[in-house]
Structure formats: C-alpha cells, structure tokens
Chains A and B, each alone.
Chain A
Amino acid sequence: AQKVTQAQTEISVVEKEDVTLDCVYETRDTTYYLFWYKQPPSGELVFLIRRNSFDEQNEISGRYSWNFQKSTSSFNFTITASQVVDSAVYFCALSGSSNTGKLIFGQGTTLQVKP
C-alpha cells in the first residue's frame, strides 16, 4: 500500500523565519514520484515540484528547497525567510510507477506566517 504522512497539522511562524514541512512516504514501488502542492486561501492547487525516486539531488528554487532522502523515505520542504504570502496549506503527494496519474496525498500542513 502507498501512504503519505504529514505529521505537522499546523505551523505558525513569524515572517523571515525559516520553516521546514515534513513529508514521510511509504511505497513498495522501486520507481515513484513525489510532489509538493501549495493551496493558498483562494483554494486552487499550485504545483511546486516533482521529484523522481531515482534522483536524490536536493533542489533549490529561490526561497524554496527540497530535501529528498530515500534512506528515511522523506521528502521535506523548507521555506527560507518566510513571507506572509507563503501562508497556505501545503500537500505532499506520491504516485507509483504504474499510477496512471493517480496521486496519494498527505493530510496537508497549514502554514501561517505572521507579520
């Protein structure tokens, strides 16, 4: 069975603080894909990143960075110097090698960035 766990339900930080959102996954597939999505208060789902299981390189995009560790089945997301606009619900998701486009989502982490 496949599963994604985001243990942090809610996180509150003050602007300019760094924050890390945790994601732990379970899968028996040897090839799989991991995703992060952002859901701002307006409600739409915004794609942030996709990572293949065979590529463990960490990635940085501006203030965002992702740490993928197969050894611990984790795909954590860090926001550096957080801003109020980062306030949103963040979802981690997983799809297997034969997923035909199906995503398994974590429960989501609500991030509140206070000015």
Chain B
Amino acid sequence: NAGVTQTPKFQVLKTGQSMTLQCAQDMNHEYMSWYRQDPGMGLRLIHYSVGAGITDQGEVPNGYNVSRSTTEDFPLRLLSAAPSQTSVYFCASSYRASGGAYEQYFGPGTRLTVT
C-alpha cells in the first residue's frame, strides 16, 4: 500500500492563480480530510469528507473547494490564491477502529508559497 499520497510536494503560485492539490489513498478509508499548518497554530481543518459525494467545511474553509467523486481521491482546489494561503497542507484518511477512535493516516504534505 502506498498509503496517503500528495502531489505536488512543493508549489509556488502567484496571487490570483488557481491550482489543485492532489490527495489519494489506497486503503479504502471512508474519511478524508485536509489540514493546513501554519507556524504557531498547529494544524487546522479545512474540509473533510465522510464518503464519496459527501463533503463538509472545517475550521478554515474560505478560499478552498473540495469534491469527492471516488473513495480514493480528495483534491483541494485553491480558487484564487492569496499570500495568506501560504502554508503546508496535509491530507489525511481515516477509518473507525475498534474502540471507536479514528485511525488517521497523514500524507507527506505539500508546501505552498503564494507570492
């Protein structure tokens, strides 16, 4: 299993450009989510999905769109990049393990710089 994969690893955008961060998992997990990591703020949830065709907003959704057409893929779209979106983006997939907790698997991250 490749686990959770993210592409690209690094990206530089100019203000106003759009792009899609790709995320894929091959573990057949129902749940997938996107987080952004900023210095001193930990990781914050952007959007999440509980299954194909179902998405919902997290803590910081503005400026981002998601869709989930398959179980495997959960792309994150930046509609019009802004310098405030400079961050490291992590994708995660999870499943409900015995005992009720969710086992989270994180991708390696995408470092995005918006100039």
Chain A residues within CB distance 8 Å of chain B: 4, 6, 9, 31, 33, 35, 43-45, 47, 50, 52, 91, 93, 95, 97, 99-108
Return the contact of A91 from the options B43, B58, B103 (Cβ within 8 A): B43
Per-position 1/0 for B93-115, Cβ under 8 A of A: 01110011111101011010000
Q: Which residues of B contact A (CB under 8 A)?
A: 31, 33, 35, 40-45, 48, 50, 58, 88, 90, 92, 94-96, 99-104, 106, 108-109, 111
**Complex Cα gap A97–B43 (Å):** 20
Residues of B within 8 A of A45 (CB): 90, 106, 109
Q: Shortest Cβ distance from B74 into chain A, in angstroms?
A: 12
The 8 Å CB contact of A101, one of B41, B42, B92, is: B92
A42 to chain B: closest residue by CB? B108
- B105 CB to closest chain A CB, in angstroms? 8
Compute how far the CA of A47 lies from the CA of B111 in the bound complex, rounded to whole angstroms: 20
Q: Could you tell me the distance between the alpha carbons of A45 and B103 in the complex, rounded to whole angstroms?
A: 13
23 interchain pairs, CB-CB under 8 A = A4-B42, A9-B40, A33-B100, A43-B88, A43-B109, A44-B106, A44-B109, A52-B100, A93-B43, A95-B101, A100-B31, A100-B102, A101-B31, A101-B94, A101-B102, A102-B33, A102-B48, A103-B45, A103-B104, A104-B45, A106-B42, A107-B42, A108-B40
